[in-house]
Amino acid sequence: MIFQECDWQEVAAEGMVTLRTMGGLFLVTQGKGGYPNVMTIGWLTTGIVWGRPVAVVLVRPSRYSHTLLEETPYFSVNVPVETMQRELDLCGRCSGRDTDKFTQCGFTSLSIEGMPIPVIQECRAFLVCEVIQKTRVEPTAFSSPVLAEFYPQDDFHSVYFGVIKRAGRK
Ligand SMILES: Cc1cc2nc3c(=O)[nH]c(=O)nc-3n(C[C@H](O)[C@H](O)[C@H](O)COP(=O)(O)O)c2cc1C
Protein backbone atom coordinates (compact mmCIF):
# COMPACT_ATOMS: atom_id res chain seq x y z
CA MET A 1 0.00 0.00 0.00
CA ILE A 2 1.50 3.31 -1.14
CA PHE A 3 -0.78 5.31 1.14
CA GLN A 4 -1.76 4.51 4.72
CA GLU A 5 -5.39 5.04 5.66
CA CYS A 6 -5.58 7.87 8.18
CA ASP A 7 -7.89 10.27 9.96
CA TRP A 8 -9.42 12.77 7.49
CA GLN A 9 -8.48 15.62 9.82
CA GLU A 10 -4.77 14.89 9.31
CA VAL A 11 -5.22 15.33 5.55
CA ALA A 12 -7.37 18.43 6.05
CA ALA A 13 -4.63 19.97 8.18
CA GLU A 14 -1.94 19.13 5.59
CA GLY A 15 -4.18 20.56 2.89
CA MET A 16 -4.57 23.86 4.72
CA VAL A 17 -0.81 24.21 5.23
CA THR A 18 -0.22 23.42 1.55
CA LEU A 19 -2.83 25.93 0.40
CA ARG A 20 -0.94 28.56 2.35
CA THR A 21 2.54 27.56 1.15
CA MET A 22 1.85 26.47 -2.45
CA GLY A 23 -1.49 28.12 -3.24
CA GLY A 24 -3.31 25.06 -4.53
CA LEU A 25 -4.41 21.45 -4.28
CA PHE A 26 -5.46 18.99 -6.98
CA LEU A 27 -9.12 18.09 -7.57
CA VAL A 28 -9.60 14.81 -9.46
CA THR A 29 -12.89 13.96 -11.18
CA GLN A 30 -13.86 11.27 -13.65
CA GLY A 31 -16.90 11.18 -15.90
CA LYS A 32 -18.61 8.39 -17.78
CA GLY A 33 -15.74 8.24 -20.29
CA GLY A 34 -13.60 6.61 -17.60
CA TYR A 35 -10.61 8.97 -17.86
CA PRO A 36 -9.63 11.03 -14.82
CA ASN A 37 -9.12 14.78 -15.03
CA VAL A 38 -7.21 16.99 -12.62
CA MET A 39 -7.63 20.71 -11.93
CA THR A 40 -6.06 23.06 -9.41
CA ILE A 41 -8.28 24.40 -6.61
CA GLY A 42 -7.45 27.25 -4.28
CA TRP A 43 -10.49 26.89 -2.04
CA LEU A 44 -11.38 23.99 0.26
CA THR A 45 -13.44 23.77 3.44
CA THR A 46 -13.66 20.71 5.70
CA GLY A 47 -15.72 19.99 8.79
CA ILE A 48 -18.85 18.31 10.06
CA VAL A 49 -22.16 18.86 8.24
CA TRP A 50 -25.31 16.75 8.61
CA GLY A 51 -23.40 14.72 11.22
CA ARG A 52 -20.83 13.63 8.65
CA PRO A 53 -17.24 14.58 7.81
CA VAL A 54 -17.49 16.75 4.72
CA ALA A 55 -15.18 18.48 2.24
CA VAL A 56 -16.61 21.42 0.29
CA VAL A 57 -15.21 22.55 -3.07
CA LEU A 58 -16.37 25.38 -5.34
CA VAL A 59 -16.22 24.74 -9.09
CA ARG A 60 -17.28 27.14 -11.83
CA PRO A 61 -19.65 25.74 -14.48
CA SER A 62 -17.16 26.70 -17.21
CA ARG A 63 -14.66 24.07 -15.96
CA TYR A 64 -14.52 20.65 -17.59
CA SER A 65 -14.30 19.27 -14.04
CA HIS A 66 -17.83 20.62 -13.51
CA THR A 67 -19.13 18.50 -16.41
CA LEU A 68 -17.40 15.42 -14.97
CA LEU A 69 -18.71 16.07 -11.44
CA GLU A 70 -22.23 16.23 -12.83
CA GLU A 71 -21.68 12.84 -14.50
CA THR A 72 -20.04 11.09 -11.52
CA PRO A 73 -20.75 12.71 -8.14
CA TYR A 74 -17.41 11.89 -6.54
CA PHE A 75 -14.16 13.82 -6.27
CA SER A 76 -10.76 13.39 -4.70
CA VAL A 77 -8.69 16.17 -3.18
CA ASN A 78 -4.96 15.50 -3.52
CA VAL A 79 -2.23 17.29 -1.57
CA PRO A 80 0.85 18.05 -3.72
CA VAL A 81 4.46 17.58 -2.67
CA GLU A 82 6.78 20.63 -2.64
CA THR A 83 8.17 19.94 -6.13
CA MET A 84 4.75 20.10 -7.86
CA GLN A 85 4.45 23.88 -8.39
CA ARG A 86 4.75 23.47 -12.17
CA GLU A 87 1.95 20.89 -12.14
CA LEU A 88 -0.25 23.18 -10.02
CA ASP A 89 0.27 25.94 -12.59
CA LEU A 90 -0.45 23.64 -15.55
CA CYS A 91 -3.60 22.14 -14.00
CA GLY A 92 -4.85 25.65 -13.17
CA ARG A 93 -4.33 26.91 -16.73
CA CYS A 94 -5.17 24.07 -19.16
CA SER A 95 -8.51 22.33 -19.53
CA GLY A 96 -9.08 18.60 -19.62
CA ARG A 97 -11.33 19.25 -22.63
CA ASP A 98 -8.24 19.47 -24.83
CA THR A 99 -5.32 18.34 -22.61
CA ASP A 100 -4.58 15.03 -20.89
CA LYS A 101 -3.23 16.61 -17.72
CA PHE A 102 -2.46 13.30 -16.01
CA THR A 103 -0.04 12.47 -18.84
CA GLN A 104 1.32 16.04 -19.10
CA CYS A 105 2.11 16.03 -15.38
CA GLY A 106 3.44 12.45 -15.29
CA PHE A 107 0.78 11.55 -12.74
CA THR A 108 -0.30 7.95 -12.05
CA SER A 109 -3.99 7.32 -11.45
CA LEU A 110 -4.35 5.08 -8.38
CA SER A 111 -7.64 3.25 -7.77
CA ILE A 112 -9.05 3.17 -4.26
CA GLU A 113 -11.03 0.04 -3.45
CA GLY A 114 -14.78 0.54 -3.72
CA MET A 115 -14.47 4.11 -5.04
CA PRO A 116 -15.41 5.11 -8.61
CA ILE A 117 -12.68 7.74 -8.94
CA PRO A 118 -8.91 7.57 -8.44
CA VAL A 119 -6.32 9.58 -6.55
CA ILE A 120 -2.89 10.81 -7.66
CA GLN A 121 -0.22 8.33 -6.62
CA GLU A 122 2.60 10.92 -6.58
CA CYS A 123 0.83 13.22 -4.12
CA ARG A 124 1.43 13.19 -0.37
CA ALA A 125 -2.17 12.68 0.82
CA PHE A 126 -5.76 12.44 -0.40
CA LEU A 127 -9.44 12.57 0.51
CA VAL A 128 -12.06 10.71 -1.57
CA CYS A 129 -15.53 12.24 -1.31
CA GLU A 130 -19.07 11.44 -2.44
CA VAL A 131 -21.24 14.44 -3.27
CA ILE A 132 -24.35 14.50 -1.07
CA GLN A 133 -25.44 18.08 -1.71
CA LYS A 134 -24.75 20.64 -4.38
CA THR A 135 -25.90 24.19 -4.58
CA ARG A 136 -25.03 27.38 -6.44
CA VAL A 137 -23.69 30.55 -4.92
CA GLU A 138 -26.51 33.07 -4.84
CA PRO A 139 -25.58 36.36 -6.59
CA THR A 140 -28.04 38.47 -4.62
CA ALA A 141 -26.62 37.27 -1.29
CA PHE A 142 -23.08 38.66 -1.79
CA SER A 143 -21.59 41.79 -0.37
CA SER A 144 -20.89 43.83 -3.51
CA PRO A 145 -17.03 43.92 -3.34
CA VAL A 146 -16.92 40.10 -3.51
CA LEU A 147 -19.35 40.03 -6.41
CA ALA A 148 -17.32 42.51 -8.44
CA GLU A 149 -13.99 40.88 -7.59
CA PHE A 150 -14.87 37.26 -8.31
CA TYR A 151 -17.80 37.32 -10.75
CA PRO A 152 -17.27 39.88 -13.52
CA GLN A 153 -18.56 37.29 -16.01
CA ASP A 154 -21.38 35.78 -13.93
CA ASP A 155 -19.63 32.37 -13.84
CA PHE A 156 -21.11 31.57 -10.45
CA HIS A 157 -19.57 28.59 -8.67
CA SER A 158 -21.38 25.39 -7.94
CA VAL A 159 -20.73 24.35 -4.34
CA TYR A 160 -20.24 20.61 -3.83
CA PHE A 161 -20.51 19.04 -0.38
CA GLY A 162 -18.69 15.69 -0.41
CA VAL A 163 -18.89 13.18 2.41
CA ILE A 164 -15.34 12.03 3.11
CA LYS A 165 -15.26 8.30 2.39
CA ARG A 166 -11.52 7.63 2.48
CA ALA A 167 -8.43 9.45 3.69
CA GLY A 168 -4.82 8.45 3.12
CA ARG A 169 -1.29 9.77 3.50
CA LYS A 170 2.27 8.53 2.96
C1 LIG B 1 -4.18 28.59 -7.81
C2 LIG B 1 -5.45 28.30 -8.56
C3 LIG B 1 -6.62 27.99 -7.86
C4 LIG B 1 -7.82 27.73 -8.54
N5 LIG B 1 -8.95 27.43 -7.83
C6 LIG B 1 -10.11 27.15 -8.48
C7 LIG B 1 -11.28 26.81 -7.73
O8 LIG B 1 -11.28 26.67 -6.49
N9 LIG B 1 -12.44 26.60 -8.44
C10 LIG B 1 -12.50 26.72 -9.82
O11 LIG B 1 -13.57 26.53 -10.41
N12 LIG B 1 -11.37 27.02 -10.54
C13 LIG B 1 -10.19 27.22 -9.90
N14 LIG B 1 -9.04 27.49 -10.61
C15 LIG B 1 -9.08 27.49 -12.09
C16 LIG B 1 -9.01 26.07 -12.69
O17 LIG B 1 -8.01 25.30 -12.07
C18 LIG B 1 -8.72 26.17 -14.22
O19 LIG B 1 -9.72 26.92 -14.85
C20 LIG B 1 -8.55 24.81 -14.86
O21 LIG B 1 -7.93 25.00 -16.13
C22 LIG B 1 -9.86 24.05 -15.05
O23 LIG B 1 -9.56 22.79 -15.60
P24 LIG B 1 -10.66 21.85 -16.26
O25 LIG B 1 -11.32 22.63 -17.40
O26 LIG B 1 -9.87 20.67 -16.77
O27 LIG B 1 -11.64 21.48 -15.20
C28 LIG B 1 -7.85 27.76 -9.97
C29 LIG B 1 -6.67 28.04 -10.67
C30 LIG B 1 -5.49 28.31 -9.98
C31 LIG B 1 -4.22 28.61 -10.76
Backbone CA torsion sign across 161, 162, 163, 168: negative
pLDDT of 118 over the 90 cut: yes
CA-wise closest residue to 161 among 78, 75, 63: 75
CA–centroid distance, 63 to ligand 1, in Å, is 7
Give me the chain's average pLDDT, please: 96
Higher pLDDT, 2 or 27: 27
Residues 145-149 have a mean pLDDT of 88
How sure is the predictor about 145, in pLDDT bands with cuts at 50, 70 and 90?
confident
Per-residue pLDDT for 6 more than 70?
Answer: yes
- What is the distance in A from the centroid of ligand 1 to the CA of 69? 14
Pocket of ligand 1 (CB under 6 A): 23-24, 37, 39-43, 58-60, 63-65, 92-97
- Angle 43-64-124 (CA atoms, 0-180°, nearest 5)? 50
Instruction: Say yes or no to pLDDT of 142 above 90.
Output: no
pLDDT tens per residue across span 77-95: 999 999 999 999 999 999 9
pLDDT given at position 148: 87
pTM above 0.85, yes or no: yes
What per-residue confidence (pLDDT) applies to 143? 79
Q: How far apart are CA 153 and CA 42, in angstroms?
A: 19
Q: How confident is residue 144, by pLDDT bands cut at 50, 70 and 90?
A: confident
pLDDT at 67: 98
Q: CA of 162: how far to CAs of 2, 27, 82, in Å?
A: 24, 12, 26
Domains and CATH numbers, the chain: 4-169 (2.30.110.10)
| Residue of minimum CA distance from atom 4 in ligand 1 | 41
- Residue 25 pLDDT > 70, yes or no? yes
1 pLDDT exceeds 70?
no
